[in-house]
A and B are shown apart, each in its own frame.
Chain A
Amino acid sequence: MDKTINEVKTSFHSDLKSCKTADDLEQVRIKYLGRKGKLTELFNQFASLSNKEKPKYGKTLNILKSDLNSSYNDKLNSLGLGKSETKDSKDFSLPGYALPKGNIHPLEQVTDEIKSIFKSIGFSVAYGPEIDDDYHNFEALNVPKHHPARDMQDTFFVDPNTVLRTHTSNVQIHLMENQDPPLRHICCGRVFRNEAVSYKSFCLFHQVEGLVINETSSFAEMKGTLEYFAKEMFGKDIKMRFRPSYFPFTEPSAEVDIWNEKLNQWMEILGCGMVNPNVLENVGYDSEKYQGFAFGMGIERIAMIKYGIRDIRLFYQNDKRFLEQF
């Protein structure tokens, strides 16, 4: 048996060596590896061996088989007849592997973009509670009880003195209570308004607000800061305007519009103003010494402008078909 195995091995290698063409090689394959080839013959002989001999020859034959196969394949490749050219080659027109598609929520993407713009000009990011007392959400911000300005924000109450924050401005108060100027922060997060749910309003939305307090920051600097932001966010050719408005916590106050070329109209993107001295006094800052500005914007609004989304409810429905688009 050993002898036969060695003979097959030697003659196979010498035959293989002399192969020059595909035909030569095919002859070798039939002779040794084919259905009636020498290798099959050896395995047939093996079947008739005694149980004692079997383990020994089994191993030898397996080694021989793999040696023959791999040598044959090497030769095949060296002749440039690799698998790709043979009949059972792959269909490369098939689609690629279907890898899972995941996305960051569009509101998160917009928030991240806004954050990174402000971070790049030295703003830190602060966060605060979504349920807060009336003082931090309203009174400290110069919105006393029974003031008509309360009508500007429909409020959810947990109890008569506790609210779901109507804006992230409560974070500004917490910040100022715990820190002395200078301040240069943005605050972002979820805010709540008790409004009827429709395509243009939901019971909650997300805000990014900014606050800069020091001894010199002026209205002109606020304009510069927000122009920088708008150009980074919407492109350097964006047309924008500042128009006077009213917020209890800032004075002078302004709203900022950007020009929408497609709709041929101005679109409001944010509100801003110089921090009202009453707010500074409420947190124990000397309003004769310190001044600064604040601004705030709704993320949904900006995302809707940016992506052309018409129904605000889509953001909270989490329909895969919607989320997968971003």
Chain B
Amino acid sequence: MKISIPWLKRFINFDHSASELAEILTMLGFESEVVTDFSSLKNIVVGEVESAEKHPNADKLKFCIVNDGEISHEVVCGAPNVAAGQKIVFAKVGAVLPGDFKIGKAKIRGVESNGMICSERELGISEEHDGIMVLDSSLKNGTNIADILGPMYDAIDIDITPDKAFALSHRGIAREIAAKLNKKLKNPLNSKRVIPDSSKKVKVVLDKKGGCPRYIAGVVKGVKVGPSPQWLLDYLKSVGQKSINNLVDISNFMLLEIGQPTHIFDLDKLSKQAIEVKWAKKGEKFDALDEETYTLDSDHLVITDSVNTVALAGIIGGKDSAVSDTTTNVLIESAYFDPIVVRKGSKKLNLLSEASRRFERGADPAAANDAFYMIVRLMQEIAGGELSSIVTDECALDLTPRKIVLSNKKLSQHAGFDIPANKVQNILSGLHIDCKSRGEGLISMDIADILSDTNKLQSMRIRTEFRPFMRNIVDHLYKIDKITRKDASSYRHRIRFGSKETLVELANTLKKEHSQDLPSEFVVKTTGKKNINNRDTQKWVCTIPSFRGDLVNESDLIEEVLRCYGYDNIDASYSFSSQMQYVEDEERPISKLKQYLSSVGFQQCYNNSLQDKSQIKHFGVKSVSVMNPSSDKMNALRTSLHQGLLNTLDFNYKNGSQNVLIYEQGTIFKNNGKKLEDIEQKNAFSCLVHGDFSAPNVHFDPIEGNFFLLKGLAEGIFNNLLKIKIKFVRESHPYCDTFYHIIDSKKSIVGSIGIINKGFLDKMDTSYKTDVCIMDIDTYRFKECSGYNIKAEDIILYPMVNRDLNFILDHDIELAQVCTAMKNVNQALLKEVVPVDIFESKELKNKKSVLFKLSFQDPKKTLEDNQVNSIITEIISLISKKFDAKLRDQ
């Protein structure tokens, strides 16, 4: 919200610059930015255009001579309205305009220009940029512009959080500054009652559901519509508000002045001099002031003249009843609408107005009255006319100020330090919160006594010090399992915020259902005399002003005290080590996996969880859709990490990187039904490889990043990182031709690897020269297995004996089977069998020659040659038989 500094000065006197004010407000919880602070602008002065002639080389430019009070400058200007004799805003060479726009010497179409004649936009005053800003002709050349424009246009922009409805006006902000600077707030407008010259009355009927608990209406006759006076125009302009006519301007001014939205109807356009607030008919059409037609719903609250709908309550007025140039009689509305009703209504139509913004956050119900009379008085002053009806004030609201008790003990417990009592009182009274200090006097009372006497219970409502006592009872019942945690919570909630009735009700419930469980020893102890100076028992009874609807409980007051005390004045406490406890992080093991993959050359990716539904469907799992996607490319949640990884490959491939080794960990979603519980949200981990693992270089040939790279990684991850034994079991897969499950010794699937088939890549509109391979790792199993499997083994000191065996085998025989068969011959001594070379040639036809390396070791002694030889013999005969293999000649 744009706040004008001169406007604030209607309410308080201060000398701070816009920048200083922005800083003060920011530190009070109103994040502010300077819009214009003329005191910070240098080298900008009042100038006089001595002559303005056509630019020699350009039709639209003018060549001007500008006098800055001392000397004359040659300036090129593009504005159509520049003319000799004007007083203008002149930025000299060296000036810096808002937005860090530096003015230097420039050559424009061959002519040198020394400085600039400014428009309002260039100065940050408004969006006006059709021409230069022309000043009052009486100003003296060379006057610093800060002295002229500062008092009119210095402004800041405040980002007001949704809880602070009280600050949505100049008075609201001025109140905060006054509290901080310890200044008195002025009352620039008179809100005293006006005596009407008629005894007629506007009939007002409120809706029955409480959508409009207060409506003030009155008629002013004989007004003259016309332009607003200069002072009003200046204020509106200072916050960028356009002037419409004097009547509309008054209403807008009131909104910005005290934050109360009002509406002015043309009385002669109403069917009757009556107001009926009611709920719209479903499908009803409403022509609004903004020239739009809205279709209303049955939960839209509307203002009618008992026949036609004339306004959408708290949001916008109707077109047909709006004031115009010919208006002479008006009906003024000043009301309080229910925040939720206004919010629902405006959300449904996607129609946000300055009025709805204030009502949905909670306007000041008491301000409705002030605003009404301020408007009547302003109208009389500016547009003439007389109040010609008795003012109707239909009010269903309890306007008795709310009282909240703030305990000093709780305040210091939450703050973590003690704030002097007089400081607390100063802060509260600065915020117009009346606070009466009082000590705590407790009266001895037996639980049974309380519960048997309803009168005492009622008095307990007033004596908030009984609340802790009631809470003790609730806690007691919770502890002895007589009520559930949820019940205890709701009871406590009612004690804190409850009305008289709920407290009595609560006590009765407790008595009825649990009387035998209530301890007789629950007696409130007397603390004796009141002791106001004791911090532990000191309390303030705070009376909350009507404009602070946001303050409803003790913690709201604690916030106010600390906010005004200044967060920066609070010393940090470092006493947290006393609460050290065991630190858990279930994801810790996975970081090992990521470190491993990244250290061998993989890039970790973060892909979007939101993907294109039409692409997701290729992955064959039912996805969860988003109701309100921001684009068709992001309308459902991913069902597999493969999608993002494939898109990442595609992106990098198209950007010239063919060698892609990537992985990602993230949540994938599966739609198993309509309810939230049916949505499976699973943590997944996938890798993808394409191209070379290691690029060709001067030292060695490229190493392909393929299925075997992933297989090797899987072995590294499970055998080496986790120390668990795995097997690869071939399975079928919807989009992988070659696909293996990785199975642990307990036969559970811990991961999988596969080669994505070409057809699938076609479907994704991609194609690659080499294989695209993927690997999944089950993160849940990974976490379970990590950290528990490492057991140190003794190192075998006896030598390892290596032997080579070269077999000629059928081409189709899987070597893993052959190795296993060899190993099974003597598992105790044969440590390892690995194929180290495979030779195929035309002469071998459909056979292959494979060289196996066998390593033998006896953990207890040095192996004898003949021992090894006999195992070898056994292996040769077994393999020859089982696989129809031939031992190759050495």
Residues of A in contact with B (beta carbons under 8 Å apart): 94-95, 97-105, 107-108, 112, 115, 119, 121-127, 129-133, 146-149, 151-152, 156-162, 164, 182, 184, 190, 192, 194-197, 203-204, 212, 214, 216-221, 223-225, 227-228, 241-246, 248, 251-255, 274, 276-277, 281-288, 291, 315-321, 323-324
In the assembled complex, which residues on chain A have CB atoms less than 8 Å from the CB atom of B31?
243, 245, 255
In the assembled complex, which residues on chain A have CB atoms less than 8 Å from the CB atom of B630?
194-197, 203
Please pick, from B567, B606, B637, the residue contacting A244 in the complex, using a CB distance under 8 A. B567
Distance (Å) between the CB of A141 and the closest chain B CB? 14
In the assembled complex, which residues on chain A have CB atoms less than 8 Å from the CB atom of B651?
317-319
Whether A112 lies near B591 (C-beta < 8 A) is yes
Report if B558 contacts A (CB, 8 A).
yes
Beta-carbon contacts under 8 Å, B525-577 to A: 553-556, 558-559, 562-563, 567-568, 570-577
Whether B573 lies near A204 (C-beta < 8 A) is no
- Report Cα–Cα, A255/B554, bound state, in Å: 22
Please pick, from B415, B489, B493, B661, the residue contacting A102 in the complex, using a CB distance under 8 A. B661
Q: Which residue of B lies closest to A275 (CB)?
A: B555
Whether B609 lies near A192 (C-beta < 8 A) is yes
Whether A320 lies near B603 (C-beta < 8 A) is yes
Whether B681 lies near A131 (C-beta < 8 A) is yes
Please pick, from B488, B493, B626, B652, the residue contacting A164 in the complex, using a CB distance under 8 A. B626
Report if B162 contacts A (CB, 8 A).
yes
Distance (Å) between the CB of A94 and the closest chain B CB? 6
Report if B594 contacts A (CB, 8 A).
yes
Whether B576 lies near A316 (C-beta < 8 A) is no
- Report Cα–Cα, A97/B652, bound state, in Å: 24
Whether A318 lies near B606 (C-beta < 8 A) is yes
Residues of B in contact with A (beta carbons under 8 Å apart): 26-29, 31, 161-164, 339-340, 343-344, 347, 360-361, 413-417, 468, 471, 475, 485-486, 488-489, 492-493, 496, 553-556, 558-559, 562-563, 567-568, 570-577, 579-587, 591, 594-595, 597-610, 624-631, 634, 637, 648, 651-652, 655, 657, 660-662, 666-667, 669, 674, 676, 679, 681, 693-695, 697-700
12 A-B pairs with C-beta separation under 8 A: A102-B598, A102-B604, A104-B595, A125-B587, A130-B667, A147-B343, A148-B339, A194-B630, A224-B572, A251-B555, A281-B496, A317-B651
In the assembled complex, which residues on chain A have CB atoms less than 8 Å from the CB atom of B587?
125, 127
- Report Cα–Cα, A274/B601, bound state, in Å: 44
Q: Which residue of B lies closest to A132 (CB)?
A: B676
Whether A218 lies near B573 (C-beta < 8 A) is yes
Whether A131 lies near B669 (C-beta < 8 A) is yes
Whether B162 lies near A115 (C-beta < 8 A) is no
Distance (Å) between the CB of B242 and the closest chain A CB? 25
Whether B492 lies near A224 (C-beta < 8 A) is no
- Report Cα–Cα, A148/B160, bound state, in Å: 12
Q: Which residue of A lies closest to B599 (CB)?
A: A102
Q: Which residue of B lies closest to A197 (CB)?
A: B630
Distance (Å) between the CB of A31 and the closest chain B CB? 33
Whether A251 lies near B556 (C-beta < 8 A) is yes
Whether B555 lies near A277 (C-beta < 8 A) is yes
Whether A203 lies near B610 (C-beta < 8 A) is yes
Distance (Å) between the CB of B166 and the closest chain A CB? 13
- Report Cα–Cα, A51/B666, bound state, in Å: 70
Q: Which residue of B lies closest to A225 (CB)?
A: B576
Please pick, from B162, B572, B667, the residue contacting A148 in the complex, using a CB distance under 8 A. B162
- Report Cα–Cα, A13/B415, bound state, in Å: 94
Whether B594 lies near A104 (C-beta < 8 A) is yes
Distance (Å) between the CB of B546 and the closest chain A CB? 19
Whether B667 lies near A246 (C-beta < 8 A) is no
Distance (Å) between the CB of A264 and the closest chain B CB? 11
Distance (Å) between the CB of A102 and the closest chain B CB? 4
- Report Cα–Cα, A223/B417, bound state, in Å: 12
- Report Cα–Cα, A274/B606, bound state, in Å: 33
Whether B489 lies near A284 (C-beta < 8 A) is yes
In the assembled complex, which residues on chain B have CB atoms less than 8 Å from the CB atom of A287?
492, 496
Whether B605 lies near A318 (C-beta < 8 A) is yes
In the assembled complex, which residues on chain B have CB atoms less than 8 Å from the CB atom of A277?
496, 553-555
> A218-B415, A224-B574, A291-B414 are known contacts; what are 19 more A-B pairs with Cβ within 8 Å?
A99-B601, A100-B600, A100-B601, A102-B600, A102-B602, A122-B577, A129-B681, A147-B162, A158-B626, A162-B676, A220-B573, A221-B575, A242-B568, A246-B163, A286-B492, A288-B471, A288-B492, A318-B652, A318-B662
- Report Cα–Cα, A147/B584, bound state, in Å: 36
- Report Cα–Cα, A97/B553, bound state, in Å: 69
Whether A246 lies near B29 (C-beta < 8 A) is yes
Given contacts A220-B572, A323-B603, A204 and B584 within 8 Å (CB-CB) = no
- The CB with the most chain A CB atoms within 10 A, among B413, B488, B604, B629, is that of B604
In the assembled complex, which residues on chain B have CB atoms less than 8 Å from the CB atom of A223?
567, 570-573
In the assembled complex, which residues on chain B have CB atoms less than 8 Å from the CB atom of A244?
27-29, 559, 562-563, 567
Distance (Å) between the CB of B156 and the closest chain A CB? 15
In the assembled complex, which residues on chain A have CB atoms less than 8 Å from the CB atom of B674?
159
- Report Cα–Cα, A204/B605, bound state, in Å: 15
Whether B163 lies near A146 (C-beta < 8 A) is no
- Report Cα–Cα, A94/B697, bound state, in Å: 10
Q: Which residue of B lies closest to A317 (CB)?
A: B651
- Report Cα–Cα, A288/B626, bound state, in Å: 40
- Report Cα–Cα, A281/B554, bound state, in Å: 14
In the assembled complex, which residues on chain A have CB atoms less than 8 Å from the CB atom of B648?
318
Given contacts A105-B604, A220-B572, A318-B652, A281 and B493 within 8 Å (CB-CB) = yes
In the assembled complex, which residues on chain B have CB atoms less than 8 Å from the CB atom of A182?
579, 581
Please pick, from A102, A132, A196, A224, the residue contacting B603 in the complex, using a CB distance under 8 A. A102
- Report Cα–Cα, A98/B489, bound state, in Å: 64
Q: Which residue of B lies closest to A149 (CB)?
A: B162
In the assembled complex, which residues on chain B have CB atoms less than 8 Å from the CB atom of A204?
608-610
Distance (Å) between the CB of A188 and the closest chain B CB? 9
Please pick, from B26, B583, B629, the residue contacting A156 in the complex, using a CB distance under 8 A. B629
Distance (Å) between the CB of A63 and the closest chain B CB? 15
- Report Cα–Cα, A122/B630, bound state, in Å: 40
Whether B694 lies near A158 (C-beta < 8 A) is no
Given contacts A107-B606, A125-B585, A221-B576, A97 and B679 within 8 Å (CB-CB) = no
In the assembled complex, which residues on chain B have CB atoms less than 8 Å from the CB atom of A225?
576
- Report Cα–Cα, A184/B661, bound state, in Å: 38
Q: Which residue of B lies closest to A98 (CB)?
A: B697
Whether B600 lies near A320 (C-beta < 8 A) is no
Given contacts A194-B628, A203-B610, A284-B486, A220 and B571 within 8 Å (CB-CB) = yes
Whether B574 lies near A228 (C-beta < 8 A) is yes
- Report Cα–Cα, A254/B161, bound state, in Å: 12
- Report Cα–Cα, A186/B574, bound state, in Å: 18
Distance (Å) between the CB of B527 and the closest chain A CB? 18
Given contacts A112-B591, A283-B489, A320-B603, A251 and B559 within 8 Å (CB-CB) = yes
Distance (Å) between the CB of B346 and the closest chain A CB? 10
Distance (Å) between the CB of A281 and the closest chain B CB? 5
Q: Which residue of B lies closest to A274 (CB)?
A: B414
- Report Cα–Cα, A243/B221, bound state, in Å: 50
Given contacts A219-B415, A224-B575, A157 and B603 within 8 Å (CB-CB) = no
In the assembled complex, which residues on chain A have CB atoms less than 8 Å from the CB atom of B553?
277
Please pick, from B344, B492, B574, B583, the residue contacting A122 in the complex, using a CB distance under 8 A. B583
Whether A103 lies near B493 (C-beta < 8 A) is no
Q: Which residue of A lies closest to B657 (CB)?
A: A320
- Report Cα–Cα, A103/B624, bound state, in Å: 31
Distance (Å) between the CB of B675 and the closest chain A CB? 8
Whether A124 lies near B584 (C-beta < 8 A) is yes
Distance (Å) between the CB of B787 and the closest chain A CB? 16
In the assembled complex, which residues on chain B have CB atoms less than 8 Å from the CB atom of A323?
603-605
Whether B626 lies near A94 (C-beta < 8 A) is no
Distance (Å) between the CB of A41 and the closest chain B CB? 28
Whether A219 lies near B570 (C-beta < 8 A) is yes
In the assembled complex, which residues on chain A have CB atoms less than 8 Å from the CB atom of B580?
121-122
Whether B608 lies near A316 (C-beta < 8 A) is yes
Distance (Å) between the CB of A193 and the closest chain B CB? 10
- Report Cα–Cα, A53/B562, bound state, in Å: 106
Whether B562 lies near A190 (C-beta < 8 A) is no
In the assembled complex, which residues on chain B have CB atoms less than 8 Å from the CB atom of A148?
162, 339, 343, 360-361
